[in-house]
Each structure stands twice: as structure tokens, then as C-alpha cells.
Amino acid sequence: MTDTATTASARLGLRPGVVTGADYRRLVETCRDEGYALPAVNVVGTDSINAVLEAAARNRADVIIQLSNGGARFYAGEGMEDAARARVLGAVAAARHVHTVAAAYGVCVILHTDHADRKLLPWISGLIDASEEAVKETGQPLFSSHMIDLSAEPLEDNIAECAAFLRRMAPLGIGLEIELGVTGGEEDGIGHDLDDGADNAHLYTQPEDVLKAYEALSPLGFVTIAASFGNVHGVYAPGNVRLRPEILRNSQAAVAAATGRGDKPLALVFHGGSGSEQAKITEAVSYGVFKMNIDTDIQFAFASSVGRYVHEHAEAFSHQIAPSTGKPTKKLYDPRKWLRVGEMGIVERLERSFADLGATGRTVARVV
């Protein structure tokens, strides 16, 4: 562990497990101020959740676990006919699982929900309802933060709707992530087309818009901002995407000049981190990015690992008794075998992500 990491851990000494309220804010601001970021991983079941926690524990790093609306529905079961109810129940069930086991891994976890556009605002409202009940029962909300993505709407409408939600969330100890500008590509049914060869000026957030949103929302609660700087969801061919992290630097400068709150008053989010150049990642983190989403790379790590296993043991996935040996193949097709292989694919990929983001060895959780 580096001297900087030791200092952060000793200074904060947060209780391991899900962080909310003031502890969530302290973790975010520590990442931003000390120049490192946390990977944010979309999960779909206990297998992916446990793999993320295992990776965090192995690397002595804190981590962000998040659910998209589709991931939440999948967690509840695709057979549930009421999709809206499934989104809420799935997210609540996943949150309770993380709350139950996370502390045992000895790291701090930010629990978050990903993109919610206008049609998904009832999902967020339902989760806030659930957190209100959780606070009554345990004193802690289910989630650290929620994201509202109204970036396709006029800025004034985006800010007004986010303000209304933040007024409900802040008293519970829940933060808000907003998106300004649009992230190209698609994330679970939410997104914007990326036109080959087009200027794609809409992929670059204007610093004055960031300032306007910050001034309107920060008095209401803790806000993090996904400012677009050319990033896209998924992995695209070289040349289709031009990342401009200097937009983040300029946004920090605009807010710092207007508020006098230090050089990096904003806690920034990097969406569409999968496949990005290391130099661009490092630069973005230096400008105050504390969170980078890497869903696509993690999905591929899981799928490719399982795919290799199936290929290597193809006979077991088509015959319960192996024609070549006459022996049962159950020990090879047992779901625990290949799911574990997929989990290890996630663990190995996240080890690289923690290192790329400078998070390895920097957990702020106290030893218990």
C-alpha cells in the first residue's frame, strides 16, 4: 500500500460495507482529491456481485456496484410479467444482498443505479420509497446514489426534475448522479446513436452548462456529474470516438472560478470507459473523475471465460455420459463450475481496472 493510500485509510477509517450519506461523500471526495477513481460495474445477479466484491477484496480497493434497469429486472426474474415491479424488486433484492455480504469483504462499496431516463423515473421513485422504509428500519438507505439521465431534454427541464428528486433523496443520505451532454451508444435501452464520420458535437458538454447545474443542485444535496467529453457506451472502432478530457478540466475551472471551492469542486463520472486509451483515462482522473463505468469489458470478460471453458469441455455440454470415456460429465457442467470460471474472468479483468484507475491498495475501510 502506498503512503498516500495509508494516509487516506487512516484518516477516514470507514466501516466496511455499503457507504451512504456523509461516508459516501467522504469516499467520493477522497478519490477525487487524491487522484484516483473506482471502477463501476453493472451486475445482474449474485454471481457478478460476488465476483466484484472478491476482486475488490483481493486488490484492497473500494468499488462501485450498480444496476441498470434491465439488470434489476433480470435479478428479479425475467418470468415476472410486471416489468416495472420487477425493476424495483430486483434492485431492492440486489441491494439487500450487497448490504448483507459486503462488509465481510473488508472494503467500502458504493451502491448505485445506472441511467434512468424520463420513462424510468417511476423506477427511481420506487427505490426511494424502499429506502425510506429502510431508513426507518436500519437508519441507512438501500442505495448510496441514483443516476437520472435527462441529457436528451432541455437543460432547464433536466435540472428541474433532478432537483425535485434530490429533495427527496438528500434527507435519506442518497446522492444524485446527473448527465450533461449525451454519451453515445446504448446502455440497456438508453442511449444515443453514434453517427460514423459525424461531428457528434452533442457528445461534448459545455462548461457553462455544468456550472448552471452545479449551482442549482449542489445546495440541495450531494451531486456527481457525468459530463460528456466524447465518450460512448460499448466498444467502437478506432477513429469513431475522440475523447477530449480537457472538457472536464475546463468544467472544473468554470465552477472553481464561480464558487471559490478549490481547484476541483466537481466529482466527475466517466461513462463508457470500456476500451478507452490508458492515457485518456489517466488524464480524465487527474481532472476529478472518481468513477469510471466499464460494463462492456466486464461482460466480455465473463462471457469469454465461460466460452473458453465450454469449448474446452464441449463433450460435457452435449452428453451427460461422455462418449469418449463412458463416464458421467456432471462435474464439468455443474453450473457452479462454469459460473465460477466466469466470476474469475471478472476478477481478473477488474484487477487491471483497479490498477489503471490508481485504486489498488487504497481502500478507506478500517480493519475490523
Which residue ranges make up the annotated binding site?
115, 149, 179, 233-234, 271-274, 293-296
Separation between Cα atoms, residue 332 and residue 325, nearest integer Å: 14
Residue 212: burial class (beta carbons within 10 Å; 0-12, 13-18, 19+): middle
Contact yes or no for 154/182 (Cβ under 8 A): no
SS (H, E, C) 5-69: HHHHHHHHCECCEECCHHHHHHHHHHHHHHCCCEEEEECCCHHHHHHHHHHHHHCCCCEEEEECH
How close are the terminal C-alpha atoms of the chain, in Å?
18
CB neighbourhood size of 152 (10 A): 15
In sequence order, the β-bridge partners of residue 111 are 65
Which residue ranges make up the annotated binding site for Zn(2+)? 115, 149, 179, 233, 271
Nearest to 140 by CA among 271, 292, 17, 3: 17
Q: What are the binding residues for dihydroxyacetone phosphate?
A: 234, 272-274, 293-296
Contact residues for 99 (Cβ-Cβ < 8 A; gap 6+) = 17, 18, 111, 140, 142
Residue from 177, 185, 197 nearest 235 by CA: 185
Residue 99 Cα distances to 68, 135, 143, 291, angstroms: 18, 13, 9, 20
What backbone torsions phi and psi does residue 182 show, to the nearest 5 degrees? -120, 140
Q: Which of 23, 62, 114, 356 is catalytic?
A: 114
Taking the C-alpha atoms of residue 292 and residue 278, their distance in angstroms, rounded to an integer, is 12
In the annotation, is 82 catalytic? no
Query: Cβ of 83: how many Cβ atoms within 10 Å?
Result: 13
Amino acid letter, 350: L
Rounded Cα distance, 189 and 304, in Å: 23
Q: What positions carry a catalytic annotation?
A: 114
